[in-house]
Structure 1
């Protein structure tokens, strides 16, 4: 399929290593114009140079970085055909970011929905779509529409994994709320599998040992990337969907609650200075 994506512009966040880097390589090999987005300047530029792509460095723990990133991308690529949202991860820190937000919520949900909002005009211009890397861990998370803001700020007694799972549920809800407001930009979430590069990251030494023992049963970054690329390029409908690998699946029932989605949207909009009103 080399060359079949010629003329398509694809932005891949979290693409300085792992699944995101593998996806960027596949997109580039198929002829797409790729924007590599990552937190590490060295790794981001290395991947971009390797595949002949543009490099964009941003830390999602700083909302100013996200706004600058969006401005850079809009200037370089006024038409975007795919936004592949792969940035994120479990963050051990319990101290709020400089923006006053619990780190897992900001990096996995708040910063991505801000980027999505700011890139919406470019996605509309390209009849584009959004594919976001989720996690099945969200199925164990809970949120209450009556106290969403307080819950998303709460770190008491919660492991990084539990805060990550909660943030991924919030991300799903934000994406469903976005879908109702912008039905012209299809958005889908998918669980790529437990990927060898990420497994055990929450568990310190125990996680490192588990990763080695379980390695034969884990998805490779390339396999996970192929699943992302499939959803980014398939002609099958993906709008509003949640996928396990590439197969439609049932998310946490809370992710389908429109009242809860509106509550999370309102919380995010307030934290972002009502930037989402422009989506």
Structure 2
């Protein structure tokens, strides 16, 4: 006589409906165990930092130009062919964002050894950016030898460059720009320690923005001439000295490759970007 399976024996079989209940209980137990493990993992795991903001410009030849550098030598973007160019827009008498941005670029270039890389710093202040002031600015940033070009000119000479790279320059009047530059000169004269080459990062914190809604927030189309709608000015000198700026990396063939906003700029990551472009043929 064949042995009966437990489920074939009416007396040994589980009550009707018991099997689904057991399965449900087992699933619930597994969920509790897995949930507990997940909770422990979530409590102890380190959340990865968000990726730094980048933007990819159209992969095309960067707009070329010819401007005079800090030594009066006519310089074009084509002159940098064969090197990786980090281009940005600055004014020399700024005492907050611009020195922070310049110091980050200079430090990244020191990290890669200064070979095969060059900074093109383009003026947004044709009034205050004199040859002496921009030379002093470069010296304070401690760029590697031959790795820094500060390009200046008249408003008419600089305007096509601003337009092609989407840059809004200073809105200050001539009188305001001259007064701000004179104030910066006086500051550096009274504080000679700031005139020395600075090899350490220049730390700048963006001031907190107001919690109230700017008056132009409900406009159908923001007025680009009304800089106040963006909130509190980030420059200590006020809205007339606000200007747009970012770092644009241009490869050895003169092709624009990567854009980095100021808020995402960091020497170590910039050095990695420079090395990656240097490694290309």
TM-score (norm 2): 0.30
- Which structure is higher in RCO with an 8 Å CA cutoff and minimum separation 6? 2
TM-score (norm 1): 0.30
